Amino acid sequence: MKRLLFILYFITTVAQAQTFITESGYVNFLSKASLNEFNGESDKLNGLIDLDKNLLDFYVDLNTLETGIGLRDKHMRDNYLETDKYPFAEFTGKMKTIPTLSTGSKSSVTAIGTFKIHGVERQIEVKGTLSKNAKGELELEGGFNVLLSDYNIEIPKLVFYELAEKQEVTFKALFKPKN
């Protein structure tokens, strides 16, 4: 009986060790228009990496994005992202190849999946790096581009709110083993 309990404990522990979560990842978008360049950022990126199921799932509450100018943030949320109707941006996908991670190693990864923002879903490819630190945590960095027109996000017509059609999105997160 003790042996059976040990085996069940071992299986449960190993399975959980392959699932990692974060609640405080960092996401940034860069808008580089001809007359205006600015960043929006949030340290509220939530995510899950399940290596056994090859599942990646990340989301950020768009109300937590800040550009450094309160009025611009309000207009971005109210008029363009419409966060009252579409409060989250989310990516769900799979890695093309699951890397073999050893402590201190860094692997290039590519994920294919669905990115959803402003009520529109599109298939995208995300490139990044995945590494494992001495504590057994995963560190993920990456980026992708978002064309606002692909997601029915209106571009402001006023020059002082100039916004680029292409937004460069980058992210960085530390994932701890799920208990």
Give the model's confidence band at 9: pLDDT under 50 very low, under 70 low, under 90 confident, else very high.
Answer: very low
Identity of the residue numbered 60: V
Residue 56 near residue 21 (C-beta atoms within 8 A): no
Beta strand segments in 70-105, E = 88-95
Dist. CA 81–CA 87, nearest whole Å: 8
Q: Residue 166: enclosing H or E segment and its boundaries?
A: strand 166-177
- The whole-angstrom separation of Cα 43 and Cα 21 is 14
Domain limits of the chain? 20-177
Q: What are the pLDDT digits (tens) for 137-169? A: 999 999 999 999 999 998 876 645 567 889 999
Rounded Cα–Cα distance for residues 173 and 119 (Å): 25
| Domain covering 20-177: architecture | Beta Barrel (2.40)
DSSP 98: P
Per-residue pLDDT tens for 66-104?
999 999 899 899 989 999 999 999 999 999 999 988 998
Residue 76 tokens, joined:
């971005």
Task: Judge whether residue 114 has pLDDT over 60.
Answer: yes
